[in-house]
Amino acid sequence: MRVGAYICFALALACAGIWVAHGQHMATLTQKLVTKEVVDPEFGDTELVKEWVDTFEIGLDIAGPAAGGLVFLGFGLLFVNRRKKRVAGSTAESLEN
Amino acid sequence: MIFRICALALLLSPGLAMAAPGGLDVSGTINWISDAPVEKIIGTADGKASLTVDFADLSTLKGTFTVAVKSMKTGNEKRDSHLMGTTWLDAEAHPEITFVIKSIKVGEAPTGDAVKTATVEATGDFTCHGKTKAITAPVTLKWKGKKVKISTVFEVSLDDYGIEGKSGIVGNKVGKTIAVNATFKGKAN
């Protein structure tokens, strides 16, 4: 159970890491604007053309609750583990007496 | 005979053909940026315009630019739907954002040979979210024969158009002003 809690904390950290690596967006992006510098064939000048391309960049709207949930679950598992140990200890004590 | 010479001259010279005020149908993409302390949102929208202009006298430029609110995109569908909602742009009640040119202030004379370039200041009525306000924006015009390219950069204050959003969002997650960069291309009719 303790191991499970540590796995939850590690996964929560991973969620936060992915969010940082994806650009720390507030909202998850399913499309991203990509800017290309192209020469306008009609006018001969350079212009920046922006195109939407499909992407998946996780935002705080997903990463936040996911990481929060995992941390909550981790602490829950630690709490249950501690309680179980305490109950087991007190049972052993009462049996000895 | 004179008529034939005139007709031939008009056919041979696109520049002359556009000397009289002519119609322009242009379309393009509007790029906009909301730069707030918490979040930077980059979006696009589709726009079109019906204009008239005599390229010999750019102060004659008249017309209306129209942007469909429902064409606005930010890369997140949920956010797009919020943008169309009643607390923001209210796309059902106000489906279009328009700019009607009222006057043009011409600066320096057009430059270039094959491609003519000129920058003017366009003053007009900008209507967004059902509210209209006069704004002035620099407009760069490029034209070559019948082909035209129009670009502009300006800022829109959300407060001016009664766009309040959810409380605490404007100035925090959404910028108080939106930077707009638009380029339209088209042909003279």
ipTM: 0.74
Decide which of A96 and B80 is more confident.
B80
In this complex, do B29 and A45 lie within 8 Å of one another by their Cβ atoms? no
Query: How confident is the model over A22-66, as pLDDT tens digits?
Result: 999 999 999 999 999 999 988 888 988 899 999 999 999 999 999
For the segment B50-67, the average pLDDT, to the nearest whole number, is 92
pTM: 0.81
pLDDT for B108: 81
Q: Which residues of B touch A43 (CB under 8 A)?
A: 115, 142, 144, 147, 149
> B101-108: long-range contacts at Cβ-Cβ below 8 A with a sequence spacing of 24 or more?
B101/B51, B101/B61, B101/B62, B101/B63, B101/B64, B101/B65, B102/B134, B103/B59, B104/B58, B104/B59, B104/B60, B104/B61, B105/B59, B106/B57, B106/B58, B106/B59
Determine whether domain B3-188 maps to CATH 3.40.50.880.
no
B interface test, pick of A22, A30, A32, A33 with most B CB neighbours within 10 Å: A33
pLDDT for B21: 62
Radius of gyration for chain B, computed over Cα atoms and rounded to the nearest angstrom? 19
Query: How confident is the model over B95-139, as pLDDT tens digits?
Result: 999 999 999 999 887 888 889 999 999 999 999 999 999 999 999
Q: Which residues of B touch A52 (CB under 8 A)?
A: 44, 73, 75
For the segment B13-27, the average pLDDT, to the nearest whole number, is 62
CA gap B18, B33 in Å, rounded = 36
CA gap B73, B172 in Å, rounded = 20
A67 forms beta bridges with none
pLDDT for B110: 82
- Which A residues, 6 through 65, put their C-beta within 8 Å of a C-beta on chain B? 25-33, 40, 42-45, 47, 50, 52, 55, 59, 61
